[in-house]
Amino acid sequence: MEIVVCVKPVPEAETRLRVAADGARLDAEGVKFVLAGYDESAVEQALLLKEAVAGSTVHAIALGPAPRTEEVLRAAVALGCDKASWIEVPSGGSDDPLDAARILAAAIRGLPHDLVLCGKQAGDDESGLVAGALAEALGVPGFGYVVDLRWDAARSRFTFHRAVESGQESWECPGPIVIGLQQAWNDPRTAKLPAILKSRKATITKIAASGAAASVATPEKFELPAPRTGAKMIEYRTPQEAAEKLVRILREDAKVFP
Amino acid sequence: MPEFSLTPDQESLRDLARKFARTEMAPHAAECDRTARFPEEIYRKAYDLGLMNLNVPTEFGGSGLGLFEQCLIVEELAYGCAGMTTSIIANCLALEPILLGGSPEQRRRFLTPFCASYQLASFALTEPSGGSDAGAIRTRARRDGDAYVLEGEKCFITNAPHASLYTVFATVDPERKHKGIAAFVVPRSAKGVSPGKDEEKMGHRASSTGTVRFEGVRVPAEDRLGEEGDGFSIAMRTLDQTRTPIGALATGIAQAALDLAAAYSLKRETFGKPISEHQAIQIKLANMAQAVHAARLLTWHAAWTIDHGGKGTLESSIAKCFASDAALDVADEAIQTFGGYGYMKEYPVEKLLRDAKLTQIYEGANEIQRTVIARELLRAYQ
Ligand SMILES: Cc1cc2nc3c(=O)[nH]c(=O)nc-3n(C[C@H](O)[C@H](O)[C@H](O)COP(=O)(O)OP(=O)(O)OC[C@H]3O[C@@H](n4cnc5c(N)ncnc54)[C@H](O)[C@@H]3O)c2cc1C
């Protein structure tokens, strides 16, 4: 099975984000970009399928500027992806998720693919649009919010569930398909030290960016949420004391109950 | 010109250790400290990720890292929990004598099967009668045909109760002092080897420290490292290698103390403003930051010196001594910044002080480091 997994460099969770001077984007200066969140789950899912289906290949693909994009691809290789391709676009380019999907689709069309995996949304802008748009651009079925993706070898089709409001849908579909993954049903693995060192020497194939249309959507303004005021910290020594103080506040100050 | 930025390779190793320390070690640090539990499941994970036999070349199944990379990893691990780090890096200490003193055949024979699965080893030098004066050890090795018979007791041995392999230093002739010491590789399974119980310790309580008795233990002569009189030199050269990572370990403790103190100072208010706005606290934080920075740079420099073929005795002694003193000072000031809460076990800073203390004692007490520093220094003036 030929699996393509799309990964995106996103700011590390602990990074303090600042808005750039023009107010229309985040300042990338000094920000550490990593493979994280749903994309980690997508890679994990790809590797689980590879382990389950003999002869499979996992090809990680990413779109973005140097050096961060190359770094997340190396991280994907360290986790166990067999190949990595980098579509270099300059930093500060289009932020339009539809553009990203078009460019990825143009590249993926040239690669063997039975399954294209994405995280359900990127860990930074959380647009959640790329998987769907990618399916559309490739002209293949696409599914979002997928869990428990498996390959039914006897019937040559993928089986999976979609978590929906108050229930679960069960699906089956032959490839090629695009899947936006809710989460892996296993914890994403951690790359081992020898694999990390080996990934530093791995070949990252460059693919020229093509397929972008004139982007219509551009972000206008980024704002940090205003700091909230009015929170009251209760100091306490024992849980009993905390509860007593809380009850007194609820009763006397907030008058939630008499 | 020296280069102070990390390569992408080094950054990715540091990131691995950082993630492991913060997600696997730190969440269990307080509990293991309180109960003195030896979290073997965490050590097993460290092994699986390649964070354990850092100094062993890859051809024998280790991670094959230089000292600089080892230091990057050790600092991050210690940030998560110094005690666990002591147990994780004890293999490096225990296996170094085999790397330094073993023949190619011995290295293959001992290291390859050892590194192929999760196992612990201990470096057994210190004895109840003394640790600093390693030339005066009393454990005897009597030659008997094609074997030696070991008789004696070692104490304060990291991981001893859990180890499957020991590198043991013993004298073939106490009269010959340093020149009579030999180094041996002894499996736990050898008849007459009996590790004692875990000692109750002030800090590093997630680590295990204990005695090992050797009662009529027969060790084949082919398991001796180097010649009979090489043991002392093997031990000292081992410590020349492993001292620098102790500087890194101390730096990790100090960095954790600084981070906790700085974050707390922004939140805690007295006299109507955060204590970070009182100059006395600012001066404390500034001094702590200087100590952490200097400790790290001295450690990096010592590691760099050794990685570039230098002996590094002076540099590693300075790094270990300075960083461990800094760790104790910074942890102390972190407690002071926390005020009464700092003294409470419920908060994480008092543990850092107890953990920092050990770094002044083991792998050569700081008094000995200063003796070494002075000796190396004075040589240049004679
Ligand atoms: C938790 C822990 C783990 C350890 N792990 C190991 C291990 O894995 N393997 C191992 O072999 N050992 C280990 N040790 C032992 C450690 O290395 C020794 O404790 C240390 O070397 C000091 O030896 P000592 O305790 O016998 O003190 P002593 O040698 O008795 O020294 C007592 C005091 O006198 C000072 N002193 C001694 N000689 C001089 C001198 N010439 N000039 C000035 N001052 C001097 C010392 O600095 C110290 O302050 C460990 C110790 C601890 C506490």
Is A232 found in the same domain as A195?
Answer: no
Determine the Cα–Cα distance for residues B124 and B225; give it in Å rounded to an integer. 14
Do the domain assignments include residue A216? no
Is A244 found in the same domain as A130?
Answer: no
Determine the Cα–Cα distance for residues B238 and B247; give it in Å rounded to an integer. 15
Residue B368 beta carbon below 6 angstroms from any ligand 1 atom: yes
A38-52 and A68-79 helices cross at what angle (nearest 10)? Answer: 40
Contact residues for B157 (Cβ-Cβ < 8 A; gap 6+): B122, B123, B124, B126, B166, B195, B209, B210, B211, B212
Do the domain assignments include residue A192? yes
* CB-based contact A116:A107 (threshold 8 Å): no
**Measured between beta carbons, which residues in chain A are less than 8 angstroms from residue B49?**
190, 192-193
> Residue B284 belongs to what H/E stretch?
helix B279-307
Decide if B48 and A191 are in contact by the 8 Å CB cutoff.
Answer: no
Decide if B50 and A192 are in contact by the 8 Å CB cutoff.
Answer: yes
Q: Which of B62, B65, B112, B131 is nearest to B91 (CA)?
A: B62
Determine the Cα–Cα distance for residues B229 and B181; give it in Å rounded to an integer. 5
pLDDT reading at B12 higher than 80: yes
What is the rounded average pLDDT of the residues B66-88?
Answer: 98
Given this model, what pLDDT does residue A223 score? 81
Residue B91 beta carbon below 6 angstroms from any ligand 1 atom: no
Is A180 found in the same domain as A80?
Answer: yes
Is A42 found in the same domain as A124?
Answer: yes
pLDDT reading at A230 higher than 80: no
Is A141 found in the same domain as A77?
Answer: yes
Given this model, what pLDDT does residue A103 score? 93
For residue B226, give the DSSP letter: S
pLDDT reading at A90 higher than 90: no
Other Cβ atoms within 10 Å of B322 Cβ, number: 23
Decide if B16 and A196 are in contact by the 8 Å CB cutoff.
Answer: yes
Q: What is the pTM of this model?
A: 0.90
> For B240-261, what is each residue's pLDDT tens digit?
999 999 999 999 999 999 999 9
Q: Provide the shortest C-alpha distance from residue B41 to chain A (in Å).
A: 16
> For A143-166, what is each residue's pLDDT tens digit?
998 988 999 999 999 999 998 888
Do the domain assignments include residue A130? yes
Decide if B63 and A74 are in contact by the 8 Å CB cutoff.
Answer: no
Do the domain assignments include residue A214? no
Do the domain assignments include residue A39? yes
Do the domain assignments include residue A109? yes
**Measured between beta carbons, which residues in chain A are less than 8 angstroms from residue B52?**
none
Burial level of A248, CB count in 10 A (0-12/13-18/19+)?
exposed
Residue B19 contacts A, CB cutoff 8 Å: yes
- As for the ipTM of the complex, it is 0.86
What single letter denotes the amino acid at residue A111?
L
Measured by CA distance, the residue closest to atom 35 of ligand 1 is: B367
Is A244 found in the same domain as A152?
Answer: no
Look up B31 and say whether it is catalytic.
no
Q: How confident is the model at residue A18 (pLDDT cuts 50, 70, 90)?
A: confident
Determine the Cα–Cα distance for residues B293 and B74; give it in Å rounded to an integer. 16
Which of these is catalytic: B127, B315, B350, B363? B363
Q: How many domains does chain A have?
A: 2
Residue B357 Cα distances to A212, B160, B250, angstroms: 60, 21, 9
* β-bridge mates for residue B184, sequence order: B168, B224
Is A96 found in the same domain as A6?
Answer: yes
What's the CATH code of the domain at A154? Answer: 3.40.50.620
What is the rounded average pLDDT of the residues B131-138?
Answer: 93
What is the B350 CA–ligand 1 centroid distance (Å)? 23
**Measured between beta carbons, which residues in chain B are less than 8 angstroms from residue A75?**
12
Determine the Cα–Cα distance for residues B283 and B274; give it in Å rounded to an integer. 15
Given this model, what pLDDT does residue B196 score? 94
* CB-based contact B211:B142 (threshold 8 Å): no
**Measured between beta carbons, which residues in chain A are less than 8 angstroms from residue B16?**
190-191, 193, 196
Measured by CA distance, the residue closest to atom 37 of ligand 1 is: B132
Decide if A196 and B12 are in contact by the 8 Å CB cutoff.
Answer: yes
- Where in the sequence is the domain holding A232, given as residue range(s)? 228-258
Is A188 found in the same domain as A249?
Answer: no
Is A236 found in the same domain as A203?
Answer: no
Is A167 found in the same domain as A239?
Answer: no
Burial level of A235, CB count in 10 A (0-12/13-18/19+)?
exposed
Is A197 found in the same domain as A257?
Answer: no
User: Which residue, among B5, B7, B9, B115, would best test binding to A if mutated, counting the most A CBs under 10 Å from its CB?
Assistant: B9
Do the domain assignments include residue A33? yes
> For B204-238, what is each residue's pLDDT tens digit?
999 999 999 999 999 999 999 999 999 999 999 99
Tell whether omega for the bond before A194 is within 30 degrees of 0, i.e. cis.
no
Do the domain assignments include residue A59? yes
Is A236 found in the same domain as A115?
Answer: no
For residue A207, give the DSSP letter: E
